[in-house]
Amino acid sequence: MIARHISVSGRVQGVFFRAWTRERAEALGLTGWIRNCPDGHVEAHVEGEDSLVEQMLELLRRGPPAAQVENLRTWDVEPCEFDDFEVRH
């Protein structure tokens, strides 16, 4: 199992980015969380099998239809072993 902390910038708030991400993460069997940040970017923590996390990163690089992802940065972090994938407020 691996974990990645992710920062996504661009037009990523107000376009259902968080809900879309949760749906994709749940479909892949990943756990973690996602939240909006005050400066307009979205921050997430995703963990699971290496290949599935990589698939999630590819999805996040495109985002949902109304989003315009300009930049995606990731950091390797320690897994926290979440039970599910949640939208944080």
Q: Which domains does the chain have, with CATH numbers?
A: 2-88 (3.30.70.100)
Give the position of tokens 């992802």: 69
pLDDT of residue 83: 96
Distance between CA atoms of residues 37 and 7, nearest Å: 10
Average pLDDT over residues 57-72: 97
pLDDT of residue 75: 97
Distance between CA atoms of residues 10 and 16, nearest Å: 13
Instruction: Please report, as a single letter, which amino acid is at residue 57.
Output: L
Active-site position among 11, 35, 36, 71 = 36
Active-site position among 18, 24, 62, 71 = 18
Distance between CA atoms of residues 31 and 83, nearest Å: 6
Contact 41, 12 (CB under 8 A): yes
Residue 35 annotated to the active site: no
Of 60, 51, 54, 67, nearest in space to 22 by CA: 60
> What is the pLDDT of the chain when averaged over all its residues?
97
pLDDT of residue 70: 98
pLDDT for 16-51, tens place per residue? 999 999 999 999 999 999 999 999 999 999 999 999
